[in-house]
Chains A and B, each alone.
Chain A
Amino acid sequence: MQRAVSSLALSPSVKVKLASAGFQFTADLRHLKPLQLSKEAGLSQQEALEVLQAARSEGAGHREGALTALELLQQEEEMRSIITFSSQLDAALGGGLPVGKTTEICGAPGVGKTQLCLQLAVDVQVPPCFGGVGGQVIYIDTEGSFLVQRVVDLATAVIRHCSLLVEDNDQRDAMTSFTVETILSNIFLVRCHDYVELLAELHLLQYFLLDHPKACLLVVDSVAFPFRHFDDLLQRTRLLHSVAQQLITMATRHSIAVALTNQMTTRLRGGQSQLVPALGESWGHTPTIRLLLHWAGPRRLAAIFKSPGHMDTTIQYQITSDGFRDADESEQPQSKRPRTHNDQSAGSQREAGC
């Protein structure tokens, strides 16, 4: 495939020089040596070397990057979802929070956004023999609402749940290393105090992910908080776009699930006030899936209101001392059942069917 030189990640002055020397496509550069190129295009040797490296790596990336839809589907089916411990929400999401995609959780204060995030941070570590992912978590806390005490509560409940399900030796072995201590040591916490620190962390995260291949989940709780008081809205939109781009890149390149939380804000429309997710309209394009947690009287509801692969559904949930759960467990005996391979594939079939 022909790729224009101007689309490479090079500095503008270099691109101008290349174009004026007549290099239009990466194919034109293929057989050149750095010295030749530097003479022909009037670049320094250092620049010429970088141009050639960029052209080669792009070429390689292209061959690798081109996948058929079938291959993509197979890849996606290999990726396991992270269960939420609410069987209704799992069913609605087709097995849980999808790995390799970004999911946004919006909601009013106190509805349970942080609870769901903490729950996911524990759930992602459920050993594979129990139908979990067995991965590590990076938790970026911008609001200061990450309290270890609560994570210990949730971890204890998940361990109790899993220990009741032990059937074979595999699972018994897995349980010996699945303790509150290991759960806590697999959650990597970053506290960001403002948006610059968040941007810095996201820059460095790709290197952290390379060092920690077991990481399967990135939580940002919340994206909105550091971006809420901004005088320059244009600047804010630009920075949010770069955050969005980085999150999506990380989700796909490193195959991790990204969970973001967002606050709600009031919008006046036609004299009526309405609760909408914050950060503006354009931010709404960033996440693949948007979950809206909201109240309906005393009940807590979760609604999927943006997703390419799921129907718009609303389910009821509750926050118990054990964590994020189905609304009424007595009516949902399935939630006690372990999630196995079959459940997962059934989930993805449903997803594919929609």
Chain B
Amino acid sequence: MNWDQVELNPRIIAAVRRAKLKSVREVLCISDPDLQRLTGLSHSDVKQLLIVASTACRRHPPTPVILLHHRGESSLRLSVGCPVLDQLLRGGLPVGGVTELSGESGVGKTQLALQLCLSVQYPTEYGGLNSGAVYICTEDSFPVRRLQQLIQEQSTVRSDAPQDLISNLQFSDHVYIEHAADLDSLQVCLSQRVPLLLARGLVRLLVVDSVAALFRSEFQASDWLQRNKQLLTFCSALHHLSREFNTPVLCINQVTDVFSGSDDSLGPHSSNVSPALGLVWANQVMVRLMMRRLQGMIFHGDQSSAPRRLEVVFAPHLAQDGRDAGIWREGVQGVSS
């Protein structure tokens, strides 16, 4: 914010200008005595300056939570497109915040992400957000055939929504696909193209499939400091997008093996794998989900599938729990127990 826009005594503004302090934000990062020294203003003037600068930086004054509750913003969820899994997630992914989905390869992470790309397009009364999705691929090329198959099956799987609504939705027109083969192109994508799509209201779901691929391939073990720095920059970009546009962000992550006897200070492991990228990444994640492959076979009509289990590892609003699911032609569907 510029100094012309704040309401302050012109004498103080002139002093601030003389001290070559360009923005309001800059002032807040300087301590009180330093400000007095730099600007030559008195204590009370500096106090006034700080109050005005703080007010300019503040987005909202403290709001009673009851107002948020009544506005219903906080209860908005993006449905996964399956009642059993939605029940596990208490309605679906929270809007705003980074959700991580990790699991071994072939467990069905991408399947679930594709399903979300479709369910986001439904109106809010059917669990969607009435908008499209942007899908950033870093690992593999986008499974476009599978997406087509899922679209064709929508009318059978979404029996809760009216048929004419489903037939009117142009699902494949609203999934925007980006390929990012290295960190630089990912950076460009997140800082330029994705904000544009979000600002125009064309999309309201960001999927990154997967975060691990780039950060695991581009750095050697000895570059961990550099890697952490890049990872934090990436995370702050995701958080910024999620907050600015009130958008759910889904990040798909790989897993690493956990050796028996290694320390369990990060929580109990339900299996012998844990999500990749370590503590730096884990600190940035709000909801951590994990998918596992179980033994055996389950059947659904003429189809058979190896059972999967979707587990909540941690989330501020969810209990540690899990649901069994199968992967069918029409998508990932929970098995009601």
Contacts and interface: CB of A to CB of B under 8 A. Distances in A.
A11 B96 contact: no
Interface stretch (A33-41, A183-191, A251-259, A281-289): A183-191
Given A10-B43, A235-B29, A108 B63 contact: no
A228 B283 CA distance: 10
Among the interface residues B56, B61, B65, which one has the most CB atoms of the partner chain A within 10 A? Answer: B65
Contacts of B61: 190, 208
A143 interface: yes
Interface stretch (A90-98, A165-173, A260-268): A260-268
Interface size class of B (residues with CB under 8 A): 35 or more
Interface stretch (A24-32, A66-74, A80-88, A147-155): A147-155
A11 B31 contact: no
Contacts of B87: none
Given A11-B37, A189-B68, A147 B94 contact: yes
A199 B64 contact: no
A190 B60 contact: yes
B279 A265 contact: yes
B282 interface: yes
A46 B33 CA distance: 19
Contacts of B57: 196-197, 199-200
Contacts of A319: 319
A345 B330 CA distance: 63
Among the interface residues B44, B55, B62, B265, which one has the most CB atoms of the partner chain A within 10 A? Answer: B62
Interface in B55-111: 55-66, 68-69, 74-75, 90, 94, 96-97
A188 B229 CA distance: 33
A108 B239 CA distance: 19
Interface string A195-237: 0110111011001100000000000000011001100000100
B29 A185 contact: no
Interface size class of A (residues with CB under 8 A): 35 or more
B130 interface: no
Contacts of B65: 139, 148, 151, 184-185, 187-189
Contacts of B46: 11
B286 interface: yes
Among the interface residues B278, B286, B313, which one has the most CB atoms of the partner chain A within 10 A? Answer: B286
Nearest to A207: B51
Given A10-B43, A108-B267, A190 B316 contact: no
A109 interface: yes
A144 B96 contact: yes
Interface of A: 9-14, 46-47, 50, 54, 108-111, 114-115, 118, 138-139, 143-153, 181, 184-191, 193, 196-197, 199-201, 203-204, 207-208, 224-225, 228-229, 235, 238-239, 242, 263-266, 275, 294-298, 319-321
A225 B232 CA distance: 10
Contacts of A238: 31
Nearest to A300: B267
Contacts of B68: 148, 189
Contacts of B54: 199-201, 203-204
B264 interface: yes
Given A149-B75, A191-B60, A204-B58, A297 B29 contact: no
Contacts of A145: 97, 286, 316
Interface in B280-309: 280, 282-283, 285-286, 288
B243 interface: yes
Nearest to B29: A239
A46 B204 CA distance: 56
